[in-house]
Amino acid sequence: MRKSIYFTSLLLTASLGSIFTGCFSGSDAPEIEKGTALFDNFTYQGKDRFYEQNPLPDAQSFYTPILPGWYSDPSICTNGEGDYFLVTSTFTYFPGVPIFHSRDLVNWKQVGHVLSRPSQLVNMLGQHVSGGIFAPAISYNPHNKTYYMITTNVGAGNFYVKTQDPFGEWSDPIRVPEVGGIDPSIFFDDDGKAYVVNNDEAPDFKAEYDGHRTIRVQEFDWKNDKMVGPRKILVNKGVHPEEKPIWIEGPHMYKINGKYYLMDAEGGTSVNHSEVIFRSDSPWGPFKAWDKNPILTQRHLDPNRPNPITCAGHADIIQASEGDWWGVFLACRPLDNRFENLGRETFLMPVKWSEDGFPYFTQGDEVIPMIQRREGVTRNQDVTFGNFSVEEEFTDTILGMQWMTLRGPATDLYSLTRTPGYLTLKCAPISTRERQVPAFVSRRIQHHEFMAETRMYFNPENETERAGLLLFKDERHQLFMSVGQTEAGRTISLTKVSGEEEHVIVSNSLPEETTCFDLQVVSEGHTFEFFYSTDKGETWKNLATGIDASHLSTAIAGGFTGTTVALYATSK
């Protein structure tokens, strides 16, 4: 039941009309406070043709990416008792680092955020949207039954947090200033010792070329929460140093059948991305590269192949309770191998083993399939992948886990209790072009083809106040469908932010008394269309069509995030 219908029923039965004011000719509109916008609902619907044209053949099959849309740098762990946990990067979005839980590796549910408090996310103000939290790595220490998540905050260095209840709160950050660089991860050995491996500077800080990095190791005293002993370089440059490989990073260490494996990403996070593997008899090395590296890449395949998956790498592997091996990694799905707005997504694949004892995902010309299967596992109806719809009525007192703000909680700029049943946003004197905390509540775009829609109540009183639906890539790449006031009267406009400039693509006049607006964006993949209604969806008007979607893509904008769709208000 739609909330507006529910409120109308209340009006008829309880005579609550005194709490509402008129919305054009209706009587079920909320009271709109000065300088605020009220959002009644939000609907997101995925409509990707791939899923429509390729239905899953049986209940044991599933689509990958298992987390479509911008869920990059995945890391996974298990407690050995059938629980699996997965985390991904969030950069400068708040809360930080979503955590997902599964009992079978196929059906995942978000259970919270690892970094849910401002005290865990410091120095976010002033950072570019692709700054902040890089590559979280989650590990389980069986010796004290504690989960650890270690990561990089670009503005504050490397740190970790821990908990014995991954469904609850995590500790405040514990800094590890001895660990430089980025992408740290913790390995807990079966003898009770632990180690941190990470991407770091070239030897003696003397890089021979751009992208020259090393993988280093240091012992971690988990009993006293500190690093101890010397730091040692395990890998310099990469698998083939003579070829000057770039960006050896994202390391994870494992002990399997008495051998130590060091797995790393290599080649940068664009189309040359790959995953490589080394092996040793000791966590201190020496580590020898497998002669059939890389163990995962798609960089050599025909770029014109159908449904290309590119940029694959930054992986983490795990042995399931049943004994089989699986891995998660990031990759992209560019439309026609040109661009995508989804960012780097989380894929899941079975891990195979070579005759000489090395794990791998792909070899030769093997492609990453978008349909996988795990025997003995039944897919639930409530899944994180494929086409799905989400409806939000804002009837709770806290935002759902899918919603994010920028650089901080923004609780002084939005409310779910000020007008119950609505998301209230203040028209703050802050713009999403600034590296601050705007009145901005967003969720990830998770499909090439989608529809996003909201109903907004708004009565702008001056020419600085605007509110509406925002497609946001970063501070310099945005599309904003908003209602505002000009000298000529009330308008609905589509504004494009491009670099340091912003300009109005189109602007339509609205009846001056209108305060209720349905706003809708439809993505056809390559282009966006924008629609609006002033009669509660009875009739829709086209505001703009054929808007180039590549403006919000990583191919144009760069950066490490995908596009989000936001409810946004400003007086800047």
Phi, psi of 495 (to 5 degrees): -115, 140
Which residue reads 């935002």 in tokens? Answer: 399
The CA–CA distances, whole Å, from 177 to 227, 307, 317 equal 9, 43, 27
- Sign of the CA dihedral running 228, 232, 261, 374: positive
Count Cβ neighbours within 10 Å for each residue of 168-185 and write b for 16 or more, e otherwise.
eebbebeebeebbbbbbb
The secondary structure element, H or E, covering residue 334 is none
Q: Which residues on neighbouring strands pair with residue 195, listed in sequence order?
A: 187, 219
Contacts of 490 (CB under 8 A, 6+ apart): 460, 483, 484, 509, 510, 511, 512, 514
Contacts of 555 (CB under 8 A, 6+ apart): 334, 338, 339, 340
The CA–CA distances, whole Å, from 546 to 77, 470, 542 equal 44, 17, 11
3-state secondary structure at position 134? strand
- Residues 159 and 175 sit within 8 Å (Cβ to Cβ): yes
Residue (of 177, 89, 173) closest to 131 by Cα position: 89
Which residue reads 């009587």 in tokens? Answer: 27
Contacts of 404 (CB under 8 A, 6+ apart): 90, 93, 94, 95, 441, 442, 443, 564
Q: Which residues on neighbouring strands pair with residue 325, listed in sequence order?
A: 319
- The residues annotated with a catalytic role in the active site are 73, 249
